[in-house]
């Protein structure tokens, strides 16, 4: 079983992410700042005298980054820092987080997040390889590879010791105040940036890793001017493009690295220093340098265009259901056009996850605040189509079940927002469950192969805040199972909500995920690729703390042994057995277009899939 509660709280480090945004926080896009830009559109420094110029030149000219501090031990900061450390054994990489419990988990055998391959990377970089002997008194370490990845809750000290500080904290959507439901909540980012500006050594390179509104670097520069007059920091934008579930592969083989910098010699020099860190494993041709604003905007646009593509194909799936066209056939037909490409064309219940919706909305806010109303309207429709798609799916389920769920058991297979992750943020499952609950079903059973049931229960329990009990333990109708067969037994309908390989009803070898290609079409990494024969030289892992939830539940993912599990074929469900234990008529609603329909129907299960006309008598 992968990660547990703390990860699901927030990615905030250094400060807590508040559920609401305090007044007067810097929560609007810095693009709204009408103050004149003293720089050349990208430069972040103010030169005064030629003496100061040469000081700055010295600080940045031949800068080599020897130590990195990553503020934020969440889904982005943790894996990113781990791979940076893995690929740069001579650089000391420290991940800091004010959440001491989360740091303890990074320093244990049960990491706080689940990502395929991550345990292995952390074991190499954090624990070193080979016999590591500490020479008493001197602190010297010997071995095949010394540890160079550290996790600490001593935020300010680690910031003060670094040549480069990466800010990788959560930037969710504002929940109240100006721009509510649309603008980016910069509370955490602003607080961490202030801490960095306060504690960093003069000359430190500050790197925006979080996804931020365009012109955020200007906000940091302003802080520097006020808090550290006379000090000089270069600010780089270096957005992360990893996706949940494939984070390690994405980091090891990125399509590109974007580094945005000031266009002054110092800015370019800082960009080069960071580029050198990446160049230790990434082809220089893939490292793209831009000005800061282009880089900040590029990240928002990349996510928005991916989301737009999904909303486009999902809108077509509605047409397919009404006409007899098959969405998978349409996707394959258009994806064969090399100008369009085949990725991100799988229709489904709509995108989830912590990024797409918030980033599209951030773009909408940016456009609207610049009085580009039509541009804002255009992008807002991407989010609206996504919600329409999810609601359409739920309505179809209810309609097919004779418009009543009373006395019926509905089983939800998959709760995470996509496969191979324990990340449940903005998972469509929760919204679907909410709609189904309105129909008063006998039971809603949930099973997810990657999420700790306790985590799901905690999320579901939050629905009770304003209404009657929801969880079965509290007298409600929702029950979370740790066994798929028990979840499906006696159900009238199964909803396939996440496309885990375990749920597919055809041999995994024909599935892209098992044939060495991930959802983004990149080759999967194998453990040996992370480090040839590294496993034979693993050092002992640190013990977990007494409050480790994975130790308590005795579950697997995050264990070093789980790497063996994830690299061996997934154990698929026995659908014949499930069919035998369902109530008739047996329904399967495929929300991810991944089920082999004729095969499933041969087991006596009626299938309704997104983008297909559906079951006919």
Active site includes 355?
Answer: yes
Site for ligand UGA in 508-527 (CB under 6 A): 519
**Token pair for residue 18?**
């508040």
Q: Which residues, 6+ apart, have CB-to-CB distance to 492 below 8 Å? A: 401, 408, 409, 410, 582, 583, 585, 586, 587
Strand 443-447 versus strand 409-413 pairing type: parallel
| 431 neighbors 390 (Cβ within 8 angstroms) | yes
Tell me which of 240, 321, 457, 459 binds ligand UGA, using CB under 6 A: 240
Q: Is 189 annotated as a binding residue?
A: no
Q: Is 97 annotated as a binding residue?
A: yes
Site for ligand UGA in 462-501 (CB under 6 A): none
* Tokens 């697997």 sit on residue: 556
Is there binding between residue 260 and ligand UGA (CB under 6 A)?
no
Is there binding between residue 418 and ligand UGA (CB under 6 A)?
yes
HEC profile of 458-488: HHHHHHHHHCCCCEHHHCCCEEEECCHHHHH
Site for ligand UGA in 153-212 (CB under 6 A): 211
Q: Which is nearer to ligand UGA, 208 or 559 (CB)?
A: 208
Is there binding between residue 238 and ligand UGA (CB under 6 A)?
no
Is there binding between residue 346 and ligand UGA (CB under 6 A)?
yes
**Token pair for residue 532?**
């040839």
| 312 neighbors 603 (Cβ within 8 angstroms) | no
Is there binding between residue 417 and ligand UGA (CB under 6 A)?
yes
Is there binding between residue 351 and ligand UGA (CB under 6 A)?
yes
Binding flags for ligand UGA, 292-331, as an x/- string (CB under 6 A): -----------x--x---x---------------------
Is there binding between residue 244 and ligand UGA (CB under 6 A)?
yes
Q: Is 345 annotated as a binding residue?
A: yes
Q: Kindly indicate which of the ranges 239-247, 396-404, 550-558, 581-589 contains the residues binding ligand UGA, using the contact rule CB under 6 A.
A: 239-247
3 state DSSP class of 446: strand
Active-site residue, selected from the candidate residues 182, 355, 411, 451: 355
Minimum distance between the CB of residue 239 and ligand UGA, rounded to whole angstroms? 8
Is there binding between residue 116 and ligand UGA (CB under 6 A)?
no
Q: How far apart are CA 116 and CA 118, in angstroms?
A: 6
Q: How far apart are CA 101 and CA 231, in angstroms?
A: 34
3 state DSSP class of 236: strand
- Phi/psi region, residue 496 (left: phi>0; alpha: psi -120 to 50; beta: rest), is beta
CB atoms within 10 A of CB 475: 10
Q: Is 81 annotated as a binding residue?
A: no
Q: Which is nearer to ligand UGA, 86 or 212 (CB)?
A: 212
Q: Kindly indicate which of the ranges 115-123, 345-353, 402-410, 548-556 contains the residues binding ligand UGA, using the contact rule CB under 6 A.
A: 345-353
Q: Under rule CB under 6 A, how many of the chain's residues touch ligand UGA?
A: 21
Q: Is 418 annotated as a binding residue?
A: yes
Q: What are the backbone angles phi and psi of residue 459, rounded to the nearest 5°?
A: -70, -45
Q: What are 259's strand-pairing partners?
A: 289
Q: How far apart are CA 485 and CA 276, in angstroms?
A: 51
Minimum distance between the CB of residue 250 and ligand UGA, rounded to whole angstroms? 7
Q: Which is nearer to ligand UGA, 77 or 441 (CB)?
A: 77
How far from 23 is each of 20, 180, 358, 558, CA to CA, in Å?
9, 12, 20, 40
Q: Kindly indicate which of the ranges 139-147, 176-184, 343-351, 574-582 contains the residues binding ligand UGA, using the contact rule CB under 6 A.
A: 343-351
Q: Which is nearer to ligand UGA, 77 or 147 (CB)?
A: 77
Length of the chain as a residue count = 617
Q: Which is nearer to ligand UGA, 297 or 306 (CB)?
A: 306
**Token pair for residue 523?**
């080759």
How far from 276 is each of 62, 78, 84, 163, 388, CA to CA, in Å?
11, 21, 11, 13, 45
Q: Kindly indicate which of the ranges 5-13, 228-236, 340-348, 567-575 contains the residues binding ligand UGA, using the contact rule CB under 6 A.
A: 340-348
Q: Can you say which residues are annotated as belonging to the binding site?
A: 97, 102, 171, 211, 299, 344-348, 352, 358, 418, 425
Query: For binding to ligand UGA (CB under 6 A), which residues are involved?
Result: 211, 240-244, 303, 306, 310, 344-346, 348, 351-353, 355-356, 417-418, 519
Q: Where in the sequence numbering do the catalytic residues fall?
A: 355
């Amino acid at each position: 079983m992968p990660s547990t509660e703390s990860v699901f709280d927030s990615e905030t480090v250094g400060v807590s992410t508040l559920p609401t945004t305090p007044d007067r926080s810097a929560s609007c896009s810095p693009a709204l700042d009408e103050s004149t830009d003293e720089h050349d559109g990208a430069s972040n420094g103010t030169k005064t005298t030629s003496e100061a110029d040469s000081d700055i030149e010295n600080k940045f000219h031949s800068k080599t980054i020897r130590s990195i501090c990553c503020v934020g031990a969440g889904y982005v900061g943790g894996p990113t820092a781990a791979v940076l450390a893995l690929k740069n054994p001579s650089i000391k990489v420290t991940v800091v987080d004010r959440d001491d419990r989360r740091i303890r988990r990074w320093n244990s055998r049960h990491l706080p997040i689940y990502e395929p391959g991550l345990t292995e990377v952390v074991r190499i970089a954090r624990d070193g390889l080979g016999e590591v002997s500490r020479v008493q008194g001197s602190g010297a370490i010997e071995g095949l590879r010394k540890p160079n990845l550290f996790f600490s809750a001593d935020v300010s000290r680690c910031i003060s010791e670094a040549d480069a500080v990466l800010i990788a904290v959560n930037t969710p959507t504002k929940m109240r105040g100006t721009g509510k439901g649309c603008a980016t909540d910069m509370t955490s980012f602003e607080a961490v940036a202030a801490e960095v500006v306060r504690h960093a050594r003069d000359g430190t390179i500050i790197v925006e890793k979080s996804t931020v509104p365009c012109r955020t670097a200007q906000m940091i520069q302003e802080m520097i001017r006020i808090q550290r007059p006379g000090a000089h920091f270069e600010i780089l934008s270096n957005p992360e493009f990893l996706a949940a579930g494939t984070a390690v592969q994405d980091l090891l083989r990125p399509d590109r690295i974007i580094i945005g910098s000031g266009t002054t010699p110092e800015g370019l020099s800082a960009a080069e220093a960071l580029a050198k860190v990446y160049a230790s494993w990434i082809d220089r041709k893939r490292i793209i340098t831009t000005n800061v604003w282009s880089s900040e905007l590029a990240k928002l646009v990349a996510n928005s265009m991916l989301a737009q593509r999904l909303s486009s194909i999902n809108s077509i799936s509605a047409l397919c259901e009404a006409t007899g066209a098959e969405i998978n056939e349409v996707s394959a037909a258009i994806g064969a056009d090399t100008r369009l490409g085949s990725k991100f064309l799988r229709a489904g219940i709509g995108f989830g996850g912590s990024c797409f919706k918030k980033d599209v909305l951030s773009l909408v806010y940016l456009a609207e605040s610049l009085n580009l109303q039509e541009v804002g309207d255009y992008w807002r429709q991407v989010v609206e189509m996504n919600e329409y798609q999810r609601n359409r799916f739920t309505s179809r389920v209810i309609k097919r079940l004779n418009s009543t769920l009373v006395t019926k058991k509905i089983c939800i297979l998959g709760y995470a927002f996509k496969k191979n992750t324990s990340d449940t943020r903005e998972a469509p499952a929760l919204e679907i469950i909410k709609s189904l609950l309105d129909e008063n079903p006998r039971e809603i059973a949930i099973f997810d192969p990657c999420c700790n049931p306790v985590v799901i229960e905690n999320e579901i329990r939050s629905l009770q805040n304003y209404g009657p009990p929801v969880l079965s333990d509290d007298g409600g109708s929702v029950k979370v199972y740790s066994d798929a067969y028990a979840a499906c037994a006696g159900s009238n309908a199964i909803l396939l909500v996440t496309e885990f390989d375990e749920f597919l009803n055809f041999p995994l070898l024909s599935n892209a995920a098992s044939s060495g290609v991930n959802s983004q079409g990149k080759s999967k990494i194998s453990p040996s690729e992370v480090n040839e024969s590294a496993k034979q030289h693993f050092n002992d892992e640190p013990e977990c703390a007494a409050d480790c939830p994975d130790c308590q539940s005795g579950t697997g993912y995050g264990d070093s042994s789980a790497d063996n599990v994830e690299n061996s074929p997934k154990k698929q469900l026995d659908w014949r057995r499930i069919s035998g234990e369902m109530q008739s008529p047996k329904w399967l609603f495929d929300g991810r277009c991944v089920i082999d329909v004729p095969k499933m129907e041969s087991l006596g299960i009626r299938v309704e899939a997104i983008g297909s006309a559906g079951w006919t008598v």
